[in-house]
Amino acid sequence: MFGQVLITEFLKLRRSKVPWGTLGGLSLAPLGLALFMWILREPGRAAQLGLVGAKANLSGLEATGPAYLSTLTIVFGVGGMLLLPFIVAYIFGREYVEATAKNMLALPIDRRWFVIAKLVVAAAWWLVLVVVVLAESLVIGMLLGLPGFSAGVALGAVGGSMRAAAISYLLAPVVAWVTVAGRGYMGPIAFALAGMAVGNLLGKTGWAEWFPWSIVPLMIGMVGQPQTLPTGSYVVLAAMFVVGVVATIAQLRFADNAQ
């Protein structure tokens, strides 16, 4: 039964343009970073084209391979906190926006399978985006010919980016619950933005290691230098994942559908 539900969820994306839109949006990040690196390397030529190199230098970055690759971790960390909630909101929320929730909930299938299948689809969607854009980023980095760009540094950056993407996904079930409870797109998007804002605020406090939406910024260096997460942070994220899944299943199982 779960296999059939999962296949159906994947088929729903077959004609959707949204996955391509998310890929296009995330793939712009490495291109923007490459432009930034070029400005740092060629401030004179950038000024001739109307690009101000002096402002780029205010970032504290250097036009080197390690600097370029380390920034990718921030790209996927921020992408996981902003783009991933959009993906989850679309997968769960479209049932209400397109008025198909009543049909889904009327099927003689345990509703937990819908939740699990949709989360698996979101994970697969996010994984494809991360892998494709990571490959794009590495190709761009090699074409730039940045000093210090090596296989060892690239592998380390890939590992850090995948870790940031995976940690971001642990917050996805909470967004799914907000989507199902709110029966639409706006609630989860607003929730994700608010969570990121509060997370950045608390990221400079001693509570950062324990607040779920501060953990990713803490790890990728959005609120200072990148830090190694303690075991307790992973426990918090795992607990949030479980709570989100259980809450979403309970919402579908016991809440009335007023559609």
Per-residue confidence band for 169, with pLDDT thresholds at 50, 70 and 90: very high
Closest CA to 64 of 43, 26, 33: 33
The DSSP line for 110-154 is -HHHHHHHHHHHHHHHHHHHHHHHHHHHHHHHHHHT-TT--HHHH
- pLDDT of 56 reads 47
Who has greater pLDDT, 6 or 222?
A: 6
Measured CA to CA, the distance from residue 23 to residue 216 in angstroms comes to 21
List the one residue out of 228, 44, 76, 231 whose CA is nearest residue 161.
76
Beta-carbon neighbour count of residue 256 at 10 Å?
Answer: 6
How high is the pLDDT of residue 58?
45
Instruction: Give per-residue pLDDT as tens, 183-211.
Output: 888 888 899 889 888 888 887 777 778 88
Q: Do residues 119 and 12 lie in contact, with contact meaning Cβ atoms separated by under 8 Å?
A: no
Higher pLDDT, 31 or 103: 31
* pLDDT reading at 79 higher than 60: yes
Question: Percent of the chain having pLDDT more than 90?
Answer: 27
Average pLDDT on 55-60 reads 51
Q: Is the pLDDT of residue 44 over 80?
A: no
- Assess whether pLDDT exceeds 50 at residue 148: yes
- Residue 20's pLDDT is 92
* pLDDT reading at 128 higher than 70: yes
Q: Please write the tens of the pLDDT for every residue from 7-37.
A: 888 888 888 899 999 999 999 988 888 888 8
What is the C-alpha to C-alpha distance for residues 224 and 92, in angstroms, rounded to an integer?
34
Domain residue ranges in the chain: 2-27+71-254
CB 133 within 8 A of CB 78: no
Length reported for the chain: 259
> DSSP label at 230?
P
- Least confidently predicted of 45-59, 71-85, 180-194, 211-225: 45-59
Is pLDDT larger for residue 86 or for residue 218?
Answer: 86
CA pair distance 63, 70, nearest whole angstrom: 12
